[in-house]
Amino acid sequence: MSTPLVMFLVFIAITLGITYWASRRSSGSSAYFAASRRITGWQNGIAVAGDYMSAASFLGIAGIIAFQGYDGFMFSVGWLVAYLTVLLVVAEPLRNAGRYTMADVLAYRLKPRPVRAMASISTLTVSTFYMIAQMVGAGALVALLLKDSGISYRTAVVGVGVLMIVYVVFGGMLATTWVQIIKAILLMAGTLLLSILVMAHFGFSFSNFFNAIGHVTYHEKGQEVVKDFLTPGLRYKPPYGALDLISLGLALIFGTAGLPHILVRFYTVPDAKTARQSVVWAMILIGSFYIMTTFLGFGAATIVGRDFISTHGGTNMSAPLLAQALAGNIFFAFISAIAFATILAVVAGLTISATTSFAHDLWTNVIHNGVERKPGEEVLVARISAFVVGAVAITIAILLGPTANVAFLVALAFAVAASANLPVIVLSIFWKRFNTTGAVAGLAVGLLASIGLILVSPSLMAVDPPTVTGAARHLIQAKAWFPLENPGILSIPLGFLGAILGTFLSHEPSSEHKFNELLVRSNTGLGAERAGAH
């Protein structure tokens, strides 16, 4: 058995043990969906960081920096700074006024059924897109890492899918949180170790390191090129590069605070103060991690090199290959196992946010008018929907195949979160005149604008040369109608505009009357649900 496989199995065994432990703890909706609200500040902070540091961060950013230098580091910056929006605007009001989902906050003032139905559609869309991207990534990665053990893409996807279903169905939020915490600690440890090894390679001299970054050599179209990888513009080129950078920034800054799998984390803590502490813990970890992408990405560019990475699995393999170059096969296996743990934990986090929204918003509150017909029904529905979500994600990931171009799905998830979710959260907390029509219009316009613009963006529309074949080809073979990869710069204003215009089209006195209740609740925590009993 290969070393990576052994390490994967050790991680799986530990997490299944946690799931077993969690499944034997107290039952009930609050326990299942919110871990009885007894997660502490630092624990939740690590879990938030774990939910956020997906394969896209660990493997993706390292790869973008390794191939396109400084421009890749722009992702790192945005992904941390975005937490200021979470900290200053949404975390505490959400914890104070909600129970399990973001729709809880909207439903205070607005007509619950239409608002929850739309919010749930948006949540399910974001979670599913994000999850499919992770599943395809996981399958491709595991198949590549374990090819010596004879594990195929299909087996890997099914394996990841089944494990995530087991965590969510049996362990609920408590198990998902602890899987996330362990993975985040492993990821931080691995990244730190890798960074130290990169600096050791350069004799612990920053000047050696940055000088090497100034002369990165690789081959392009048969020609040897030498580039300064600290210079901006290797990825974002004229004429639209600058706008795309700003658009990306907007989607990150406003999208993070609308990501359902991040928002559900704030319901697992006892109160708003703990929610705030957990954001700060998360920011410390996430910030340290993204600063270290400097070593991972530029280290891979200078020590391993673009040429070698291109022929050994491509951009996403930059970090594992760097580990191999620096410390051999055991370390390669360790870093690969961490990447695998990362994907698994993020997929589980996404599944629980999707199933919570389905069970709590759609099933109980929309279909059955807010009444749980018998105790435990909501949790049962969530467990069943975890099976369904898992099965759908496995099927789609297998149909798409390992070479599918799925990176845009993560951008799409952020764009939908920023354009649909964030405007209605913010307006319902801060704008007295806001009403149901506005919320439904804002969610619908934000969702449709993001999806529509991505469909006609260069991510999906381009003319490929005949040498590009199969799933790697762009879906629509024509010049893109919308020139930017990220739709945020247009879709976020459209989401706000939809919400504001919708509001002015109708008049809803009850929403204005209840504004004071939400204002007091969200700012003081009066009447908020506390931690559950032992």
Partner 1 sequence: MPESIRKFETTKTEWDRIAASQQFQDLMATKKVFIIPAFLFFLVYYFALPILVGYAPAFMSTKIIGNVNLAYLFALSQFFMAWTIAFLYVKAAGDFDRLARDIIDKAEAAPGSQPNPDKGGR
Which amino acid would we find at residue 301?
Answer: A
Nearer to partner 1, 93 or 349 (CB): 93
Question: Please, which residues bridge with residue 227 across strands?
Answer: 216
On the 0-12 / 13-18 / 19+ scale of CB atoms within 10 A, 204 is: exposed
Binder among 194, 245, 339, 417 for partner 1 (CB under 8 A): 245
Give the number of other Cβ atoms within 10 Å of residue 522's Cβ: 24
230 counts as binding partner 1 under rule CB under 8 A: yes
Per-residue x/- track, 33-72, partner 1 (CB under 8 A): -------------------------------------x--
Q: Which residue has the tokens 């799925």?
A: 406
Length in residues, the chain: 534
Contact (Cβ atoms closer than 8 angstroms) between residue 503 and residue 433 = yes
Residues between 431 and 450 that touch partner 1 (CB under 8 A): none
98 counts as binding partner 1 under rule CB under 8 A: yes
Contact (Cβ atoms closer than 8 angstroms) between residue 392 and residue 128 = yes
Structure tokens at 450: 């993001």
Nearer to partner 1, 506 or 510 (CB): 510
Nearer to partner 1, 364 or 419 (CB): 364
Mind giving me the DSSP string for 206-241? HHHHHHHHTTEEEEETTEEEEE-TTSTTSSS-TTTH
Binder among 185, 193, 196, 246 for partner 1 (CB under 8 A): 246
Nearer to partner 1, 94 or 136 (CB): 94
Binder among 81, 193, 456, 471 for partner 1 (CB under 8 A): 81
Binding segment (CB under 8 A) for partner 1, from list 226-234, 317-325, 437-445, 491-499: 226-234
Structure tokens at 10: 């050790």
Per-residue x/- track, 515-534, partner 1 (CB under 8 A): -xx-xxx-xxxxxxxx----
Binding-site size for partner 1 (CB under 8 A) equals: 68
Shortest Å, Cβ 197 to partner 1? 21
Shortest Å, Cβ 440 to partner 1? 18
Binding segment (CB under 8 A) for partner 1, from list 187-195, 274-282, 415-423, 447-455: 274-282
Q: Which residue has the tokens 């954001």?
A: 279
Binder among 64, 118, 179, 248 for partner 1 (CB under 8 A): 248
Nearer to partner 1, 245 or 397 (CB): 245
Nearer to partner 1, 81 or 327 (CB): 81
Binder among 26, 27, 231, 506 for partner 1 (CB under 8 A): 231
Shortest Å, Cβ 45 to partner 1? 11
Distance CA 315, CA 22 (A): 37
Contact (Cβ atoms closer than 8 angstroms) between residue 534 and residue 474 = no
219 counts as binding partner 1 under rule CB under 8 A: no
Backbone φ and ψ for 69, nearest 5 degrees, come out as 65, -140
Nearer to partner 1, 78 or 258 (CB): 78
Nearer to partner 1, 13 or 533 (CB): 533
Give the number of other Cβ atoms within 10 Å of residue 277's Cβ: 18
Residues between 481 and 510 that touch partner 1 (CB under 8 A): none
Nearer to partner 1, 78 or 438 (CB): 78
Which amino acid would we find at residue 367?
Answer: I
The contacts of residue 114 (CB under 8 Å, 6+ apart) are 436, 439, 440
Residues between 291 and 320 that touch partner 1 (CB under 8 A): 291
Structure tokens at 458: 């260069």
Binder among 6, 9, 88, 468 for partner 1 (CB under 8 A): 88
Contact (Cβ atoms closer than 8 angstroms) between residue 488 and residue 250 = yes
Say whether 530 sits in a helix, a strand or coil.
coil
Binder among 276, 295, 386, 389 for partner 1 (CB under 8 A): 276
Contact (Cβ atoms closer than 8 angstroms) between residue 118 and residue 440 = yes
On the 0-12 / 13-18 / 19+ scale of CB atoms within 10 A, 16 is: middle
Task: Give me Rg for the CA atoms of the chain.
Answer: 23
Per-residue x/- track, 188-217, partner 1 (CB under 8 A): -------------------x--xx-xx---
Say whether 529 sits in a helix, a strand or coil.
coil
Backbone φ and ψ for 176, nearest 5 degrees, come out as -60, -40
The residues that touch partner 1, with contacts defined as CB under 8 A, are: 70, 73-74, 76-78, 80-81, 83-85, 87-89, 97-100, 104-105, 107-108, 112, 207, 210-211, 213-214, 228, 230-233, 236, 241-243, 245-246, 248-249, 253, 273, 276-277, 279-280, 283-284, 287, 290-291, 370, 513-514, 516-517, 519-521, 523-530
